[in-house]
Chain A
């Protein structure tokens, strides 16, 4: 097979920039979190104290003051943290106590993780009755007090902190079993696990190399927090006199002695061991939190939060004239600051108009900026992006610099939005009727009865059978197609002037898609509404759009009437999109493709953004960014337009 026969993926420039590796991102976030840094410093000290206590300790922790002169002392130059009832140096005893604390953690953790994780993996993977039996026994142990289990082990073996920790380990293993099983049950259903089974990998490989790594993050967080608990339990046992011997520099033992003595000899006796204990437990919990935050996704990356608009540069072209222009956008730029300080311009000079009763189709591959255009035009640019240039008019009014509060008035009432996943928009816990009634009561000043009657009318309008009964149902009782009808009913509730439909039929079956498109057309005719229809499917555009906006790389490539785009495309990208439709493929042989991928917004090509993938690109296209030019009533952004470039296929024009 030769290279030339294959549609190959270019590497290097066109491939997306290599993002930060998760490991590097993890450490960067850990070091940026002050509480995480505090806990890491504290543990660094404790670890040194554990491995090499002599390095930090100033005295022998067991050396008593035989002169009996220096008992119960406070902090001094010689004894930094004072002395205890035998005149032993508190500071050195606390330092040596770290080793005992870690010893407890290691014993208990080894048992807890060593028993809990394999048991959880096995139980979750096997499932069925055995799983239920294991979890039943596990829950019994889970509900027993930890100290009780520790005492039971001490009774069977003999009293020592180590033996107590064996009991604590068994008790803690139930936490790990639960966690591991929960993650395993969830990961088991993932497609990548199916893929591994199909590849023929053994169960052991799948568990150890596929599921365990995904378990690791929650395991580490849990382990940190449980380590803190183990220290506390160890101290409690020592405090009760069950664990360590009275001579050991154990924090709990010291605390107990301090408690017995502080009425007579001052409160200081409990400060050094108590302080070490509190700081360590706190540090474990903070470490757990810091790790969880560092692993977790950046919430602000995905959330649809609105940033304040600042100094939007004016558009250089004027808006379309006429009473029937519902939405008019001119020269809109939208920028996103990247994590590394670079700015990515996701939209550049986007202009569009949509009039009452008209459907504007917006088409382009994913990553071309279709959805971003609509969000930004409605003041919904997701944070941290912002509109930096341009002008937006809605219903004749300049809305470029509206506050979020003012926007909410317009969006709730005059703009309806339909999303791709109808079910995702509906709150699963609230009856459908109530969700339709809410905007009616807020924006249309209706009372409950009026709103309910109107909601039933709306469901009837979108041809949901038996609307009265359907109002009292929950979203999960609706099929995809029916849920999308509810989505349309909600979007129509407040008589919007503009309906924005973002891939409204993509998630639906093809037989339902037609019904939804018909429904939209029907409602549009009745209400003389403007519709913006975002889709990647040129078939849907052919069915429903009057005018078409072709987007690529955050720019408008072409706007034209639907007929022109299909029969006389002016931009090579429009033509290429048409050619890739399987319906336009005749006969045998490879399907037409657009080679390569949509470039990322951080690395637009210097000249025409489509040039690297364009079959008609010349040298100038690579270096010069073409302007968006007016051609009769249409617009096109191509250097070669108007030259000898021939794109239209006469055979198609006849069809």
Chain B
């Protein structure tokens, strides 16, 4: 108990999760003859913090490294450089003897609701295993009662105690995953594309469950998704990743309404709005970003800004120098030369500038 109190008090002082200059590299697989290819730089200097009881949304395209950030925090991949702190404690590389304690503090809900559950176990075991491991409560009526209360929390009736994963729909399985994460009473839950595989109508149900749980238990979320629209609705703060870099981060609504990085604006412009009239107007904006360039390989990053070859407003400096992070109007930070060179936007929204530029281009 005293440990927990200590943690709480520390949490009150600083952020719950603090990721600083995180680098994750995957070694290239060498051929039998010939040189070893360069490592894939999946995460390339990412820093962010999550306060207790808050939700940080991490958004980006496939290959942006957002899931690797999650796996690094969860100790599932080796970290090349950087530090991760949880309520002040260094958890960059958790030693084996501390692993159990760490697992109790950080839990996860993973993407695929089918393969993330063990097909051979019933819900009572899937959710109950963690209770046994962390609270020493053996399988039986008492543990079932506790699992049952968790099922209440995620909106499943107790009949689901003896269901197998293959007897449940995607949404129901994801609720079981959430109950499993909640079972150990963690401080942080990482939701990695937890709702991406679900229908929109079911996705909203699951998101509401997550919000309600945060309200009642105070757990913090790292919510990872490729859909900025969903991330915005779930998160207090948002980070936008591109090719291993966190190119922009800050207040969720602030970013959505006034993005300061052209990539963020590209993401927002690409979301089709369910309104034909509005969407017809947005199409032109989206098309201003259209070029057939593909993102560079994370094994062979360009010397300058990684977004340069897809950016509609790239300048000479973008090809040469990696932009440094500067303060943005939404209270966060952005890595883009537009704020210090060229138009010198100084952390303001790029929307107006890009719209104007796009018009002069076409």
Q: Which A residues are within 8 Å of any B CB, using their own CB?
A: 1, 3, 5-12, 15-16, 18-19, 190-192, 194-202, 205, 209-210, 213-214, 365-366, 463, 465, 479-482, 509-511, 513-515, 517-518, 536-543, 562-563, 566, 576-578, 580-585, 590-595, 597, 652, 655
- Residue of B216, B270, B274 near A583 (CB, 8 A) is B274
Contacts known (A9-B157, A198-B74, A582-B229); A518 close to B290, Cβ less than 8 A: yes
Please tell me if the beta carbons of B233 and A585 are within 8 angstroms of each other in the complex.
yes
Distance in angstroms between the alpha carbons of A391 and B208 in the assembled complex: 44
Known: A16-B169, A539-B271. A198 touches B201 (CB 8 A): no
Residue of B nearest to A510 (CB): B270
Chain B, range 110-167, C-beta contacts under 8 Å to A = 110-112, 115-121, 129-130, 133-134, 152-153, 155-157, 159-160, 166-167
Cβ of B207 within 8 Å of any chain A Cβ, yes or no, is: yes
Across the two chains, which residue of chain B brings its CB closest to A214? B120
A sample of 19 cross-chain residue pairs with beta-carbon separation below 8 angstroms, ordered by A number, consists of A7-B209, A15-B168, A195-B118, A198-B103, A199-B129, A199-B133, A210-B118, A366-B170, A479-B294, A510-B226, A510-B271, A511-B270, A514-B270, A514-B272, A536-B200, A538-B274, A563-B277, A566-B275, A580-B200
Query: B273 and A583: CB pair below 8 A?
Result: yes
Minimal beta-carbon separation of B255 from chain A (angstroms): 15
Known A-B contacts A199-B129, A582-B233, A591-B233; A577 and B279 likewise in contact (beta carbons under 8 Å): no
**Is B270 touching A198 in the complex (CB atoms < 8 A)?**
no
Q: Which residue of B lies closest to A538 (CB)?
A: B274
Judging by beta carbons under 8 Å apart, are B205 and A7 in contact?
yes
User: A198-B74, A200-B102, A566-B276 provided; 12 other pairs, C-beta below 8 A?
Assistant: A16-B168, A191-B110, A199-B133, A510-B226, A514-B287, A538-B200, A566-B274, A566-B275, A581-B200, A582-B200, A583-B271, A593-B204
**B80 lies within 8 A of chain A by Cβ:** no
Asked if residues B169 and A542 are in contact (CB atoms below 8 Å), the reply is: no
Pick the contact of B103: A200, A205, A366 (CB < 8 A).
Answer: A200
Bound-state Cα–Cα, A148 to B120, Å: 41
Minimum distance in angstroms from B171 CB to a CB of chain A: 7
B67 to chain A, nearest CB (A): 11
B interface residues (Cβ-Cβ under 8 A, vs A): 61-62, 74, 76, 99-100, 102-104, 106-108, 110-112, 115-121, 129-130, 133-134, 152-153, 155-157, 159-160, 166-172, 175, 177, 180, 184, 199-205, 207-209, 211-212, 216, 226-230, 232-233, 266-267, 270-279, 283, 286-287, 289-290, 292, 294
Is A365 a contact partner of B199 (Cβ separation < 8 A)? yes
Known contacts A194-B116, A539-B272; decide if A580 and B212 are in contact (CB<8 Å): no
A314 to B110, CA, bound (A): 48
B279 near A195 (CB under 8 angstroms)? no
Neighbouring B residues of A209 by C-beta, 8 Å: 121
Distance in angstroms between the alpha carbons of A471 and B74 in the assembled complex: 42
Structural contact, B287 and A518, CB atoms closer than 8 A: yes
Contact yes or no, B108 A9, CB < 8 A: no
Residues of A within 8 A of B290 (CB): 514-515, 518
When C-beta atoms are compared, the residue in chain A nearest to B75 turns out to be A197
A582 to B195 CA separation, bound complex (whole angstroms)? 13
Query: Could you tell me if B201 and A16 are in contact, using CB atoms closer than 8 angstroms?
Result: no
Among residues of B, the one whose C-beta sits closest to the C-beta of A562 is: B276
Q: Which residue of B lies closest to A546 (CB)?
A: B276
Inter-chain contacts of B115 with A (CB < 8 A): 190-192
Please tell me if the beta carbons of B294 and A543 are within 8 angstroms of each other in the complex. no
What separation, in Å, do the CA atoms of A583 and B133 have in the docked complex? 41
Q: Which residue of A lies closest to B160 (CB)?
A: A11
Q: Which of B74, B134, B201 contacts A594 (CB 8 A)?
A: B201
Chain A residues lying within 8 Å of B152, measured Cβ to Cβ, are 3
Output the nearest chain B residue to A595 by Cβ-Cβ distance.
B205
Q: How far is the CA of A494 from the CA of B133 in the complex (A)?
A: 61
Partner of B184, one of A3, A10, A200: A200
A592 touches B204 (CB 8 A): yes
Contact present for A542 and B201 (CB under 8 Å): no
Given A200-B100, A200-B103, A200-B130, answer yes or no on A195-B110 (Cβ-Cβ < 8 Å): yes
Residue in B closest to A508 when the chains form the complex, CB atoms: B62
In angstroms, Cα B201 to Cα A595, docked, is: 8
Query: Within the complex, what minimum Cβ distance (angstroms) separates B160 from chain A?
Result: 7
Q: How far is the CB of A323 from chain B (nearest CB, A)?
A: 27
Nearest 5 pairs of A and B residues by beta carbon: A200-B103, A539-B272, A8-B155, A538-B274, A11-B157
Contacts of B216 in A (CB 8 A): 1
Minimal beta-carbon separation of B265 from chain A (angstroms): 11
Residue of A nearest to B103 (CB): A200
Q: Do B205 and A593 have beta carbons less than 8 Å apart? A: yes
In angstroms, Cα B287 to Cα A222, docked, is 58
> Are B275 and A655 in touch, CB under 8 angstroms?
yes
B residues in contact with A366, CB < 8 Å? 170, 199
> What's the Cα separation between A188 and B155 when bound, in Å?
31
Residues of A within 8 Å of B103, CB to CB, are 198-200
B147 to chain A, nearest CB (A): 13
For residue A378, give the distance in angstroms from its CB to the closest CB of chain B: 25
Of all chain A residues, the one with the shortest Cβ separation from B163 is A18
A574 CA / B100 CA spacing, docked (Å): 48
Distance in angstroms from B284 CB to nearest chain A CB is 11
Q: How far is the CA of A231 from the CA of B226 in the complex (A)?
A: 57
> What B residues does A566 contact at CB under 8 A?
274-276
Complex CA distance for A18 and B166, rounded to whole angstroms: 9
Instruction: Please name all residues of chain B whose beta carbon is closer than 8 Å to the beta carbon of A210 when the two chains form the complex.
Output: 118
User: Is the Cβ of A597 less than 8 Å from the Cβ of B184?
Assistant: no
CB distance from B26 to the nearest CB of A (A): 14
CA A12 to CA B159, docked complex, whole Å: 8
Q: Which chain B residues border A583 with CB–CB below 8 Å?
A: 229, 271, 273-274
CA distance A3 to B156 in the complex (A): 11
Report how far A213 CA is from B155 CA in the complex, Å. 30
Task: Give the distance to chain A from B230, nearest Cβ to Cβ, in Å.
Answer: 6
Docked complex Cα distance between A213 and B275 (Å): 50
* A9-B168 Cα distance, complex, nearest whole Å: 11
The CA of A591 and the CA of B206, in the complex, are separated in Å by: 10
Is there contact, CB below 8 Å, between B155 and A6? yes
Please determine whether B167 and A19 come into contact, CB atoms closer than 8 angstroms.
Answer: yes
The 8 Å CB contact of B76, one of A5, A16, A197, is A197
Residue of A nearest to B228 (CB): A510
> Are B107 and A198 within 8 A (Cβ)?
yes
Chain B residues within 8 Å of A592, by CB = 204
Contact at B62–A509, with CB atoms within 8 Å?
Answer: yes
Shortest CB distance B77–A (Å): 11
Q: How far is the CB of A182 from chain B (nearest CB, A)?
A: 18
Whether the Cβ atoms of A543 and B208 lie closer than 8 Å is: no
* Contact (Cβ within 8 A) A465 B200: no
A514 / chain B contacts, CB cutoff of 8 Å? 270, 272, 283, 286-287, 290
B211 CB contacts on chain A under 8 angstroms: 590
Q: A198-B107, A539-B279 are in contact. Are A582 and B157 (CB under 8 A)?
A: no
* Least CB distance, A447 to chain B, in whole angstroms: 31
Q: Collect the chain A residues with CB atoms within 8 Å of residue B226's CB.
A: 509-510
Pick the contact of B134: A200, A581, A582 (CB < 8 A): A200
